[in-house]
A and B are shown apart, each in its own frame.
Chain A
Amino acid sequence: MKPPPFEYHDPKTVDETLAILGRYGGEARLLAGGQSLMALLNFRLASPAALVDLNPVPELSYIREEGGQLRFGAMTRQRQIEFSPLVASRLPLMIEATRMVGHLPTRTRGTIGGSIAHADPAAEYPALVTALDGEMVLRSASGTRVVKPADFFKGFFTTAIAPGEMLVEVRIPVTPAHSGWAFEEFSRRHGDFAIVEIVTMLTVDNGRCTRARVAASGVGGAPVRLRPVEEILERDGVGERAIGEASARAAELVDPTSDLHASADYRRHLTRVLTRRALTRAALQVRGNN
C-alpha cells in the first residue's frame, strides 16, 4: 500500500499555503499530522493532485489563552496539548479527552486541526468542541470567518471548510468556576474510536446548575450537542433524578446507525448509560470543587 503520485508543497506561511490552495482549485489537500490522511493515501482512498504540507508552518502551532478561551493553532500537536500546563490548569477536561485520542505515538504527530478537519464521527476533539461550544477559525484568500460546531460538522467526514479555505485555529472556552466535567467513552479496544462517547461540563453555583454542556458522538454523522438534556439539568439540577431523566432524554435525541462494531439500538442504549455515568461523575466532581 503506497501513496499515489502527487505534487508536494511545503509552504512556510499561511498566506503561502492559501496561495497554493488557490492554484489547485480544490484538487489539493492539506497535510496536517497525517494520522488519518496518510493512511487514506496509502490505501489509495485519496489521490489529490497535490499535498500541501502544513508541518513547516510555524505560525499554526500555539496554545494561548485569550478572551476566556484557549486558542489552539491548527497544527498544535495532540501531544503538546496532553502535556501543556496551561491546558491542564484551564481546561483539564481536554487532557482527559486527549489521552483517548489514539496512542502516544500517534499523538506525537497528530494535530488538533487535523482531527477536527477530518471530522470522524467518533473522534474525541469534534465531540469536545461541540460540547463546550468552541469555535473554528477558517481562513481563505478573502478573509477569516469563525464557525460554530453545529455549522462546522456537516456529517460523516464532512465539514464547512470550503475549497480554498483552511482551518487555522480552534477555540474552546476555559473551564468556568464551580464546574465538574467528564469524558466517557466506550470502545472495543483501548485507543480505538469510540462506539459512543459523551462529553459533559456542569457548572453549579449555590446548588443551582447554571450551565450544563452535554454532547454525544459516535451516534450519527457528526457530534451532537444535546441541548434538551442540558435544559433538564439547568432546570432540575444535577441530582440523581434529574440525571436519570436527562440520560433517558439523551437516548431519545440521538439517531445512530448500525455498523460492524455496534447496532443502532446498542448505541442508543449506550448513550443513555454513558450520559448517566458522565453526568454522575461530573456532578460528583463539582460537589468536590465547590
Chain B
Amino acid sequence: MAATQKWVGQPLKRTEDPRLLVGDGVFIADQLFPNLHHAAILRSPHAHARIRSIDASAALRLPGVVGIVTGQDAAKMTRPFAVGVRAPVKYYCMAVDKVRFVGEPVAVVVATNRYLAEDALDLIQVDYEPLSAVVDPERALAADAPLLHEEVGSNLACHRHIVYGDPDAAFADAEVVISERFVFPKYGSTPIETYGVVASFDRTSDVLTIHANFMGPFILHPITARALNLPENKLRLVVPPDIGGSFGIKTGIFPYMSLVGLAAMKTGVTVKWIEDRREHLLASSSGTDRIAYRELAARRDGTILAMRTRWYDNVGGYIRTPEPGCSFRPIGNWFGAYRFQHLEADANVVMTNKSLTGPNRGYACGHLYFEIERMVDLLAEKIGMDPAEVRRRNFIQPGEFPYRTPSGGLYDSGDYPAAFEKALELADYAGLRRSQEQARADGRLFGVGLAVAVDPSVSNMGYITVALDPEIRGRPGYLPKSGALEAATVKVDPLGRIIGVLGSAPQGQGHRTVVAQIIADELGIAPDDITIVDEMDTFTRVWGISSGTYSSRFGSVGTSAAALAARRLRDKLVRFASYLMEVPPESVVWSEGGAHHANNGQVLTLKDLAGRAHWDVESIPPGMEAGLEATAVFAFPEAKAPDLQDRVNSSNTYGFIAEVMAVEIDPDTAAIKILKYVTVHDAGEIINPAIVEGQIYGGALHGLGGALYEELAYDEQGQALAGSFMDYLVPTAHEAVKIDIAHVVSPSPFTTLGAKGLGESSSMTVPAVLANAVTDALKPLGVHIRELPITPSRLWHLMESARSKR
C-alpha cells in the first residue's frame, strides 16, 4: 500500500521559521540555568612552547572568581582522548606540558560573569619556553623539523599506501602522462553562532550534564565520557533546540565539552562557556590544508587509465577524532565519476603547529575534486580535446548502477551523462565557447570551467578504520567498525494528534518541516496537523555512535527512519481497525487519515482509533502491543567494515553534481568576475525543493569562500594571521553569485523514499570549477591554477610572471 505523495516534493514553508523570525529561537547562549557561572579560556600565544609553570594565584584572588583549571587538573582528572590512529598522540582537552598551536587552551577561569572571568585571565602568569615551530606539512616530515610529540617520534600521525588495480601497468601502457602539484588551503565554515557549552555536575548521582551545540557524530559521546573518566551512562549530553549553523565545524566542540565539564566538576558550579569569534578563528576547527601530487595516465583518445596520488594533510597540533577522515572519508568515491580502475594513493597525515581540523562542509571532497577535475582539464589541454568531451568519454554509464568502485564504494544510482549534458545545455556551453572566441579576439580574458563530482552522503563510520593497517584490522579479536543509522518515533495522542520525535540535532536544515511532510503523506493527513519534536538527549533518545546531523545524513537516513516509523504506525492502525471492523487487514485501506472498510464504506478515523486505543485499552486485539506509537531505526545494509584490501563503501548514497562556470578576469587588477554559474544535481527524490535549493546556494558559497576569500593563514613561525572577521573574509551578499540550478532524479534504491543527502553539495565543486574557469580564461597567458584561494594579489603575480616569460 504505497502512500500517495501529496506533500513530499512540495516547497513547503518551514515550520521552524516563525519562532526564529520573531527572535524566539533558543540557542545555547539563550538558555537559562540555575547557579550559572561563566568561563573564559586563557590561550597560548605561542605556536610551540614548553609550559614551565603557571601562576594563577592573583587571578584566584580576584573577587568573583570561583575556580581555575589548568593542565595539571587535566592531567589528574582526565585522560587523553582516543585518537583514530596508532600513533601514541596524547591529546588532552587542554595543554598539559606543552602548547602546540596558537590558541590552545592553557587555563580556564570560572567566575560570576564573563567580564570578570576575562579580567582574571589577564592576571594569570604563564612561564613559557618557546620552541621552534613548523607549519608546512611537507617540511614537518624533514628529519630536522621541530618535533611536536616526543612520544610519537615524528610528526607523521598516519601513513597509508593503498593500491587498487595495477596502476604501474596502466602507467606503463599510457600514451599520455600528466603530473601536477596542488595546494589546498585551510579554511572553515565559521558558523555565525560560535561554540557554546554549559556543564553541571550532580554530586548525588555523579551525572555530568553537558548542554552543547554539538551535532554529532555521537561516537564522540563515549570518547568524551572516557576522557572524563566517567561511565557513559553518567554523561548526559543535551543539544539545545536551535543550533546556529555547523557545516561540520561543531564536531570539533567535543574537547570543550570535556574542558568545561572538567571545570564544572572541579568548581561544583554550573559553568557556561560561549566561544568568542577570536577563539573560534584560532582554535575551533577547519578543513585541512593539503599539499598533493597527482599523476594521471591516459590514452590519446582521452580515456583515463589510472591515477597516482600522494598527499600531505595538515591536521594541526594534535590529530583529533574523526581525523584522519580528511584523508579517508571519500575513499569509496576516490575515483570520482569516472570508470578508470587503477589508483595508487599515498596518504600522509601530518601534525604541525596549526589549529586542529575536522569535518568541514564537503569533508575532504573539495580537496579531492579540485585535484581530479584539474587533472582532467590538464589532460584535455594536453591532447587538444574539449574538456567536456574528455569527461563524456570517462563517465560511469547509466546502465552500470549500482556501480562498485575499485575502492569499494557502491554508487547507488545515477545518470551522469544526462546530468552533465543538462548542465551544458543550461549554460549554453557552445554559446559560451563562441563568446569566448570573440572575447579572446578582443583581448579579453574570458574562461569557461567544468567540474563534476560524485557527492557522497551518510558516512559509514567504518571508513575511519582504513587509517589502520589491514594487518591490524585482520588480527583476531579486532572489533570491526561499520554502520550508519538513525531513529525516529511517530506517536498518536489520545485525541488522535500526531507527534513525530527525532533526535537529529539539526543546524538549519529544516528537519521538522521535512519530517512533517513525510509523515503527512504516509498517514494521509496535513503537515500542519503534525507536531515534530527534534531533541537530542543521550539519556532519552534512541541513538547510535553514528547518530547526528553531519555528512548530509538526514536527507537519506533520517528521512528513511521517519518514513519507516510512520509506515509501521500505519500498519498497526490498519490492523487495529481491521480487528474493530472484524475484517482481515487486507480489506482495510488507509487513506485521508483514516481506515476505510473496502466494501461497506465504514471509516475509522485516526481520532476514532486513538480514542479506542487510549481510552479503551481492552479493545486492542490480543497479541497487539498496547500504545499507538512506532519507532524505527533505519540502518544501511551496505555500510560494512573495510575489507583487508582497504575496500570500503565509505558512504551510503552517492549523488552527482555537474557544473559550468564562466568568468572574466580583469587583466589589470586580476579581479575575477563570475558571469555564469550553472549547477545540476542528482540527489535522488527531492522532498522539499525549497530546502534543497537553499542547501545548494549555501554550499556553493562555502566553496566560493574557500576558492577566493577565506584562509586561516599562518606565518612561518606559526602565528595565526586571521584572528578576526577583518582578516578572515567571509563572502557577503555582495560577493555571492546567482546560480542556475537544475535537477536530475535517480532515486536511490537503498533509502525508503529514494532520497539522497545533498547538504554538502556545491561546496565540493566550486573550488574545482572556478579553478578550471580561471585557468581557461588565462590560457592565452598559460597560467595554471594549482593553489587556492585565488586572491587578486596571487593571481596578478601568476599573470605577471607568465607575461614576463613571453
Whether A and B touch directly in their complex, counting CB atoms under 8 A apart, is answered as yes
A43 contact from B114, B668, B724, B791, Cβ within 8 A: B724
List residues of chain B with CB within 8 A of the CB of A4. Answer: 118-119, 122
Q: Does B797 contact A (CB under 8 A)?
A: yes
Closest CB of chain A to B223's CB: distance in Å? 30
List residues of chain A with CB within 8 A of the CB of B734. Answer: 189-191
Task: Say whether A260 contacts B727, CB under 8 Å.
Answer: yes
B793 contact from A2, A44, A262, Cβ within 8 A: A262
List residues of chain A with CB within 8 A of the CB of B793. Answer: 195, 261-263, 266
Q: For the complex, give the distance between the alpha carbons of A1 and B723 in Å.
A: 12
Task: Say whether B669 contacts A189, CB under 8 Å.
Answer: no
Q: Which residue of A lies closest to B118 (CB)?
A: A2
Q: Does B709 contact A (CB under 8 A)?
A: yes
Chain A: interface residue count, which band? Answer: 20 to 34
Q: Does B671 contact A (CB under 8 A)?
A: yes
Q: For the complex, give the distance between the alpha carbons of A192 and B791 in Å.
A: 15
Q: For the complex, give the distance between the alpha carbons of A1 and B122 in Å.
A: 13
Interface centre among B726, B735, B792, B800 (most CB of A within 10 A): B792
Q: Does A186 contact B (CB under 8 A)?
A: yes
B732 contact from A43, A191, A193, A273, Cβ within 8 A: A191
Q: Does B115 contact A (CB under 8 A)?
A: yes
Closest CB of chain B to A196's CB: distance in Å? 10
How many contacting A-B pairs (Cβ < 8 A)? 63
B669 contact from A3, A265, A273, Cβ within 8 A: A273
With known contacts A262-B792, A266-B796, A186–B729 Cβ distance under 8 A: no
With known contacts A1-B278, A260-B727, A265-B797, A186–B119 Cβ distance under 8 A: no
B276 contact from A1, A191, A262, Cβ within 8 A: A1
Q: Does B781 contact A (CB under 8 A)?
A: no
Interface residues of B in 233-288 (CB under 8 A from A): 276-278
Q: Does B25 contact A (CB under 8 A)?
A: no
Q: Does A5 contact B (CB under 8 A)?
A: yes
Q: Does B162 contact A (CB under 8 A)?
A: no
Task: Say whether B791 contacts A261, CB under 8 Å.
Answer: yes
Q: For the complex, give the distance between the alpha carbons of A270 and B671 in Å.
A: 11
Closest CB of chain B to A58's CB: distance in Å? 31
With known contacts A5-B119, A43-B278, A260-B727, A188–B709 Cβ distance under 8 A: yes
Interface residues of A in 201-226 (CB under 8 A from B): none
Q: For the complex, give the distance between the alpha carbons of A195 and B794 in Å.
A: 13
With known contacts A189-B732, A190-B735, A192-B729, A2–B114 Cβ distance under 8 A: yes
Q: For the complex, give the distance between the alpha carbons of A273 and B670 in Å.
A: 11
Interface residues of A in 1-18 (CB under 8 A from B): 1-5
1/0 contact trace for B105-134 toward A, CB 8 Å?
000000000110011001000000000000
Task: Say whether A263 contacts B122, CB under 8 Å.
Answer: no
Interface residues of A in 125-149 (CB under 8 A from B): none
1/0 contact trace for B86-121 toward A, CB 8 Å?
000000000000000000000000000011001100
Q: Does A269 contact B (CB under 8 A)?
A: yes
Interface residues of A in 263-285 (CB under 8 A from B): 263, 265-266, 269-270, 273
List residues of chain B with CB within 8 A of the CB of A269. Answer: 796, 800
1/0 contact trace for B335-373 toward A, CB 8 Å?
000000000000000000000000000000000000000
Q: Which residue of B lies closest to A5 (CB)?
A: B119
Closest CB of chain B to A67's CB: distance in Å? 38
Q: Which residue of B lies closest to A42 (CB)?
A: B276
Q: Does B721 contact A (CB under 8 A)?
A: yes
Q: Which residue of A lies closest to B796 (CB)?
A: A266
Q: Does B722 contact A (CB under 8 A)?
A: yes
Q: For the complex, give the distance between the alpha carbons of A188 and B794 in Å.
A: 12
List residues of chain A with CB within 8 A of the CB of B792. Answer: 186, 188, 195, 262, 266
Q: Which residue of B lies closest to A1 (CB)?
A: B276
Closest CB of chain A to B718's CB: distance in Å? 15
List residues of chain A with CB within 8 A of the CB of B713. Answer: 260
Closest CB of chain A to B465's CB: distance in Å? 39
Interface residues of B in 276-319 (CB under 8 A from A): 276-278
Q: For the complex, give the distance between the alpha carbons of A280 and B447 in Å.
A: 28
Interface residues of A in 169-208 (CB under 8 A from B): 186, 188-193, 195
Q: Does B731 contact A (CB under 8 A)?
A: yes
Task: Say whether A186 contacts B669, CB under 8 Å.
Answer: yes
Interface centre among B722, B724, B791 (most CB of A within 10 A): B791
B722 contact from A2, A260, A273, Cβ within 8 A: A260
A260 contact from B115, B276, B278, B721, Cβ within 8 A: B721
With known contacts A260-B722, A266-B797, A270-B669, A190–B732 Cβ distance under 8 A: yes
Task: Say whether A189 contacts B709, CB under 8 Å.
Answer: yes
Task: Say whether A273 contacts B729, CB under 8 Å.
Answer: no
Closest CB of chain B to A188's CB: distance in Å? 6
Interface residues of B in 701-737 (CB under 8 A from A): 709, 713, 721-722, 724, 726-727, 729, 731-732, 734-735
Task: Say whether A44 contacts B709, CB under 8 Å.
Answer: no
List residues of chain B with CB within 8 A of the CB of A190. Answer: 732, 734-735
List residues of chain A with CB within 8 A of the CB of B791. Answer: 188, 261-262
Task: Say whether A273 contacts B668, CB under 8 Å.
Answer: yes
Q: For the complex, give the distance between the alpha carbons of A188 and B728 in Å.
A: 11
Interface residues of A in 55-78 (CB under 8 A from B): none
B729 contact from A2, A189, A265, Cβ within 8 A: A189
Q: Which residue of B lies closest to A270 (CB)?
A: B669
Residues of B at the A interface (CB closer than 8 Å) are 114-115, 118-119, 122, 276-278, 668-669, 671, 709, 713, 721-722, 724, 726-727, 729, 731-732, 734-735, 791-793, 796-797, 800
Q: What are 11 of the A-B contact pairs (CB < 8 Å)?
A: A1-B118, A2-B115, A43-B278, A189-B709, A261-B791, A262-B792, A262-B793, A265-B797, A265-B800, A269-B800, A273-B669
Residues of A at the B interface (CB closer than 8 Å) are 1-5, 43-44, 186, 188-193, 195, 260-263, 265-266, 269-270, 273
Sorted nearest first, the 5 A-B pairs with minimum C-beta distance are: A190-B734, A262-B793, A266-B793, A1-B276, A273-B668
